[in-house]
């Protein structure tokens, strides 16, 4: 990144330029953007520009979490939070708290995430509101839903979706649409679920990073309604971006294979999603993929391979207190025992 900033005057300008350039590259699916972001952090820290450094560390953590691993990202966000706390930067600390919760949710550390999101939302309300508060509400809704607290999840997510539509920031809108489609499907509202899936596809047409980051919830909905042609088009036009994109698109390919009646091929894709999710710290994704793999194996008549998968998934779901996942595991366990009887 040195040639890019060589002719830029101040260190503040250099940091801002590197952050903008790095973020733009990542949105285009180019992981080289991480290097630009890291260089911006280094300049800000070297020049003792605390405000710029905390912002740059927050941006770096978000990108690393999506493109590499949640564990690596936590290192950056914790460094930024410590710096913000040390210098009394309350707004920066709140943003970094949100980013930390954003990393803890996919790791399955839901108790911590619920505590942090509540803190962010409270502080955000006191300071007039921001995207940190909106994002925290969205994360909280996801955890509450999978914990079996669907009504609370809907109460949080419904106004959030309208806010996301108004501000038109895909960092908020893409996950809001994807999760809202899941909520509509869970409520048995087919028309609304498909409308939201369509809106998601249209909104992310020119933002493939955001599309791939939240793809699997949408493809799971399409698979549930047997929308094979739509699924095929969406998967074909959703190249994986970064670690999170790889996990999500592997699950999406599994959903497509299930609608094609190719259960063993679907199981292979879900297994791949499990491996990638575990490697990149996407524990929730890999747990759901285990359940989806078990379902595919049962459909293929391979009930004998299901027990170990469900046992692993159950252990994780119990740790997360994921009542929604435990109910799916119980149902599949009953189906597996019936198939073997």
Cα dihedral 133, 191, 293, 205 sign: negative
Pairwise CA distance, residues 99 & 112, whole Å: 13
Quote the pLDDT of residue 131: 87
Quote the pTM value.
0.94
Give the residue carrying structure tokens 């996990």: 247
Q: What is the pLDDT of residues 58-111, one digit of tens each?
A: 999 999 999 999 999 999 999 999 999 999 999 999 999 999 999 999 999 999
Range 265-292 burial, b when 16+ CB lie within 10 A, else e? bbbbbbbbbbebbbebbbbbbbbbbbbb
Count of alpha carbons within 13 angstroms of residue 140, beta-carbon side: 24
Quote the pLDDT of residue 53: 95
Quote the pLDDT of residue 288: 98
Pairwise CA distance, residues 272 & 289, whole Å: 9
Average pLDDT of 125-138? Answer: 89
The answer to whether residue 2 scores a pLDDT higher than 80 is no
Q: Residue 257: which pLDDT band, with cuts at 50, 70 and 90?
A: very high
Could you report how far apart the first and last alpha carbons of the chain are, in Å?
63
Q: What is the pLDDT of residues 278-333, one digit of tens each?
A: 999 999 999 999 999 999 999 999 888 899 999 999 999 999 999 999 999 999 99
Quote the pLDDT of residue 154: 97
- DSSP state letter for 304: G
**What would the two tokens of residue 34 be?**
């991480």
Burial class (CB in 10 A: 0-12, 13-18, 19+), 6: exposed
Q: Are 94 and 132 spatial neighbours (Cβ–Cβ below 8 Å)?
A: yes
Q: What is the pLDDT of residues 14-28, one digit of tens each?
A: 888 898 889 888 888
Quote the pLDDT of residue 340: 77
């Amino acid at each position: 990144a040195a040639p890019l900033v060589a002719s830029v005057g101040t260190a503040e300008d250099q940091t801002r330029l590197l952050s903008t350039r790095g973020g733009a590259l990542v949105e285009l699916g180019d992981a080289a953007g991480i290097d630009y972001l890291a260089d911006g952090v280094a300049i800000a820290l070297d020049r003792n520009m605390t405000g710029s450094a905390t912002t740059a560390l927050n941006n770096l953590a978000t990108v690393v979490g999506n493109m590499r691993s949640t564990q690596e990202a936590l290192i950056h966000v914790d460094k930024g939070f410590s710096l913000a706390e040390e210098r009394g930067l309350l707004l920066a600390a709140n943003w970094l708290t949100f980013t930390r919760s954003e990393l803890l949710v996919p790791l399955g550390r839901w108790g911590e995430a619920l505590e942090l999101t509540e803190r962010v939302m409270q502080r955000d309300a006191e300071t007039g509101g921001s995207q940190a508060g909106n994002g925290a509400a969205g994360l909280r809704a996801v955890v509450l839903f999978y914990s079996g607290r669907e009504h609370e999840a809907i109460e949080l997510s419904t106004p959030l979706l309208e806010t996301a539509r108004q501000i038109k920031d895909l960092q908020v809108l893409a996950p809001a649409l994807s999760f809202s489609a899941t909520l509509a499907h869970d409520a048995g509202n087919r028309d609304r679920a498909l409308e939201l899936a369509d809106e998601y596809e249209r909104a992310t047409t020119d933002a493939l990073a955001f599309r791939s980051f939240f793809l699997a919830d949408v493809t799971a909905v399409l698979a549930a309604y047997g929308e094979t042609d739509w699924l095929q088009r969406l998967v074909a036009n959703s190249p994986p971006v970064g670690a999170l994109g790889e996990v999500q698109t592997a699950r999406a390919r599994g959903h497509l294979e299930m609608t094609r009646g190719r259960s063993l091929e679907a199981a292979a894709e879900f297994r791949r999603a499990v491996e990638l999710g575990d490697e990149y710290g996407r524990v929730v994704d890999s747990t759901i993929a285990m359940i989806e793999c078990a379902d595919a194996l049962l459909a293929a008549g391979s009930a004998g391979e299901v027990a170990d998968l469900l046992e692993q998934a159950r252990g994780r779901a119990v740790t997360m207190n994921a009542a929604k996942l435990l109910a799916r595991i119980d149902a599949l366990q009953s189906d597996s025992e019936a198939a073997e009887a």
